[in-house]
Amino acid sequence: MPQQGHREGGGYRLVPGTVNRASSPTLPPVSTSPAPFPPACAAQARVVEEPLPGTGPETTGWLVIEQPGAWGHDAVTESDLDPDVARTLAERAADLPVRVQIVRRPGHRRSVQRAVFLAHSGPDPWLRRIALQDTRDLLDLDLTVLLSPDEPDLGEPEPAPLYLVCTHAKRDQCCALWGRPVVAALEERRPRQVWESSHVGGHRFAGNVVVLPDGLTYGGLGPDEALTMLEAVEAGEVDLDRLRGRSSLPAPAQAAEVFARRHAGERRADACRVLSVDADGEDAAVTVELAGDPLVVRLRHEPLGVELLAGCDKPAPADPGTWRLVSVSP
């Protein structure tokens, strides 16, 4: 029977129609929620098991700047970063598929020299590190280098993956409530590689982690799930239970990669490439090469059947929709 629309005490409501669990992968059980009370947007998303595929940020280039101290709602322009540098970088990035992320060491400890990371998350990803004395040197950086698969001769290669964990409390309380336990768990294993990060997108999917340079974004993480993700990354694999998407891909292709991998049981991180995306309204056909074999993934963006808060500060819930798998064929 369809569920009647009504408002629940936690701040979300079921709307007419069913939530189709059978046709869409759902989150497995997670660690106990640190969110203290509803309407915490991440708690709502977990209660209804909102699917993750196709929800990752969409960007090819990443400029990651270490900036200790407090961050405001907009971490780039509302921090202790030089105002002229912040404003200029934000304006330049707005016209490009480039994200400017502000990061800090867990515990707000400072590096000896301010770290800046440059990352490209296309099919041939790369990651480099620059040590800065003066952030105004960033004004000389051409952000379009972040869009090229050709690694620039800037700074030094950074061999280890970076784990950017969103803890941006001024943007959304859930990012801090869920993100900080994830930081603590990951830092214990890999202290050099873990950074607290500004907003990465998708408050309700906290805890969120972006792995650079690949741009793989994971969500719905607690401490235990974060360690499972870490083990997968270090084994050269992806964690299919928690993968939101690959940042260099548009939303339907992000979802299609996850669906294709689940269909074939393929976890190797480098085993999937998207060849083409044909989107028509709510329907999409994505051709991928999976372990050398072409597959066509057909999917559709449909109502989730549940209204949720996109963020804890949003005035009203709405149905976010979700990508449903239609078929996978050679």
Residue 316: its pLDDT value, please?
85
d(CA 123, CA 246): 10
Residue 15 placed within a domain: no
Residue 111: its pLDDT value, please?
63
d(CA 38, CA 40): 5
Mean pLDDT of the chain: 87
Could you give the dihedral angle defined by the CA atoms of residues 270, 271, 274 and 280, in that order, rounded to the nearest 10 degrees?
A: -130
Residue 313: its pLDDT value, please?
82
Q: Give the model confidence (pLDDT) of 170-201 as tens digits.
A: 888 899 999 999 999 999 999 999 999 999 99
Domain that holds residue 203: 37-249
Residue 311: its pLDDT value, please?
87
Nearest to 52 by CA among 269, 281, 328, 261: 261
Residue 306 placed within a domain: no
Residues of the chain with pLDDT below 70 are 1-39, 108-112
Residue length, the chain? 330
**In which residue are the tokens 């998207």 written?**
274
Residue 28 placed within a domain: no
| pTM: predicted TM-score of the whole model, two decimal places | 0.87
Residue 268 placed within a domain: no
d(CA 62, CA 42): 25
Residue 280 placed within a domain: no
Residue 132: its pLDDT value, please?
86
Residue 24 placed within a domain: no
d(CA 313, CA 53): 24
Residue 317 placed within a domain: no
Which pair of tokens denotes residue 86? 């912040």
d(CA 108, CA 240): 31
d(CA 206, CA 187): 17
Give the per-residue SS3 of 97-150. Answer: CEEEEEEECHHHCCCCCEEEEEEECCCCCEEEEEEECCHHHHHHCCHHHHHCCC
d(CA 173, CA 42): 9
Nearest to 301 by CA among 327, 320, 318: 320
Residue 54 placed within a domain: yes
Q: How many domains does the chain have?
A: 1
Q: What percent of the chain has pLDDT over 90?
A: 75
Could you give the dihedral angle defined by the CA atoms of residues 167, 168, 173 and 179, in that order, rounded to the nearest 10 degrees?
A: -10
Partnered with residue 329 across adjacent β-strands are 296
Q: Give the model confidence (pLDDT) of 153-166 as tens digits.
A: 999 999 889 999 99
- Residue 135 has a CB neighbour count (10 Å cut-off) of 19
> Side chain identity at 186, as an amino acid letter?
L
Look up the CATH number of the domain holding residue 191. 3.40.30.10
